[in-house]
Amino acid sequence: MSETTPESTVEMETLVSLCKRRGFIFPSSEIYGGFESTWDYGPLGTELKQNVKRAWWKAMVQERDDMVGLDSSILMSPRVWEASGHTSHFTDALVECQNCKRRFRAEELSDHGSDEEQQSAAGACPDCGGRLTEARQFNTMFKTFVGAVEEEASIAYLRPETAQGIFVNFENVLTTTRRKLPFGIAQQGKSFRNEITTGNFIFRTREFEQMEMEYFVKPGTDDEWYDYWRQERLNWFVRFGARREHLRLREYAPEELAHYSVGTTDIEFLFPMGWDELEGIAKRTDYDLKRHAEASGRRLDFFDEESGEHFVPYVVEPAVGVDRCVLVFLLDAYHEEEVRGERRAFLRLHPALAPIKVAVLPLSRNEKLAPTSRQVWDLLRPHFMTQFDDAQSIGRRYDLRP
């Protein structure tokens, strides 16, 4: 064996093509020419994605004594989104080229900043140099209709974040689990955003999966927990194989903050297209619980037995996309090496994330070895994801050519 390249930084096209060839991720609806940045996870990708979700759940729920889980529905009352502010504020500034008609998020064309700053920095169309329109706000929630009649009264939204399912269940969880502060409610599930621009493989899509946790704390202690969760989440990525030098924390400027946040830090990753958001950790204060309490008329607060006081807890939220985690772990696992003059690629995935844990590769198909190796396989299958291969040459069976 000769030396392994130290850098795992790989071009996105190389990874996309490896994912397709090896059954990790396929373009969706491919036999019809694909469909607008949608992707399907293949046999190995499905295992990897489930393992990423399991690793998060284990670290965030199972291993902790201050956390419970939830699985809320994607369709919720439209009143949820009015109260949370998503109907009026969940917008992106959109600019359109008057010449080639391409649409961009104003943010893409400028550095981070306010919508006005983004508009003035946007300038000309990066594709054809044409004049860009003024920025207008575009709500990125997907609308649908519930029931047989498509009318205004039956409009519902596909959730753009899983977080609101947690806030509207705060009372249910509190009364059924009798938690004391601080405690968290975690959930994983699909979210949908009608993004103006998508791309960079599974980095930005319109249908994606999130892993979010709302951590309810005593007001005044949220800064401390904000620091704690930023570090905890950074460590999680390193624990499962992301390179520390590919990760950094970036604190938002006040004008970048979402309508619900008084402080946000992104965990950024050095993707092939540059540094970009992997996870966001936000201080949501009592914004969401207060809004839902006002809109629903329910009392969404906490009774502190020690002080005898009722108060609305503050919230610190770490929120990450499953697909972005999959992308990060694949990028940092990718390695190439030269073996006897031939270059080959392989994935150095953390054992907890690896899709296949054990391969049974009998050296020959002779009468003695064949039944014994099948028996070994039978014994292993209930405990691990396994693979059996007695067909190809032994070298080919663990090879992963670029």
Return residues touching ligand GAP (CB under 6 A).
Answer: 161, 163, 193, 195, 204-205, 208, 210, 212, 277-280, 317, 319-321, 323-324
CA gap 327, 8 in Å, rounded = 13
State which residue, 286 or 323, has the beta carbon closest to ligand GAP.
323
Read off the amino acid at residue 99.
N
Side-chain-side CA neighbours of 377 within 13 Å: the count stands at: 16
What is the number of other CB atoms lying within 10 angstroms of the CB of residue 370? 13
Supply the minimum distance, in Å, between the C-beta of residue 19 and ligand GAP.
Answer: 16
CB of 37 or CB of 51, closer to ligand GAP = 37
Distance CA 206, CA 92 (A): 14
Q: Which two tokens stand for residue 130?
A: 């044409």
Pairing outcome for strands 302-304 and 358-360: unpaired
For ligand GAP, the closer CB: 47 or 323:
323
In the bound complex, what is the minimum distance in angstroms from residue 305's beta carbon to ligand GAP? 30
Packed helices 322-333 and 43-57: angle between N→C axes, nearest 10 degrees: 110
> Residue 137 Cβ, how far from ligand GAP at the closest point, in Å?
16
CB of 289 to ligand GAP, least distance (A): 14
3-class secondary structure, 392: coil
Nearest CB to ligand GAP, comparing residues 270 and 278: 278
Closest to ligand GAP by CB, 49 vs 324, is 324
First to last CA, the chain: 17
CB of 91 to ligand GAP, least distance (A): 12
Q: Which residue is nearest to ligand GAP (CB)?
A: 321
**In whole angstroms, how close is the CB of 211 to ligand GAP at the nearest point?**
8
CB of 310 to ligand GAP, least distance (A): 26
Query: Within a 10 A sphere around the Cβ of 304, how many other Cβ atoms?
Result: 14
Smallest separation, CB 311 to ligand GAP (Å): 23
Tally of helices (H runs) and strands (E runs) in the chain: 12, 20
Q: Tokens for 54, please give them.
A: 């399991």
CB of residue 204 to ligand GAP, shortest distance in Å: 4
Nearer to ligand GAP, 201 or 302 (CB): 201
* Residue 198 near residue 104, CB atoms below 8 Å: no
Instruction: Supply 238's token pair.
Output: 């390193």
Instruction: List Cα–Cα distances, 300 to 83, 135, 287, in angstroms.
Output: 14, 38, 11
The span from the CA of 7 to the CA of 343, in Å, is 15
Task: Indicate the residue among 302 and 324 with the shorter CB distance to ligand GAP.
Answer: 324
- Closer CB to ligand GAP, residue 87 or residue 386? 87
User: For residues 313 and 362, which CB has a smaller minimum distance to ligand GAP in the complex?
Assistant: 313
CA gap 229, 396 in Å, rounded: 44
Please state, in angstroms and rounded to a whole number, the distance separating the CA atoms of residues 294 and 3: 63
Do residues 81 and 87 lie in contact, with contact meaning Cβ atoms separated by under 8 Å?
yes
47 vs 317 by CB, closer to ligand GAP = 317
Question: In whole angstroms, how close is the CB of 163 to ligand GAP at the nearest point?
Answer: 4
93, 135 in Cβ contact below 8 A?
yes
3-state secondary structure of 30: helix
- The two tokens of residue 230 are 């930023």
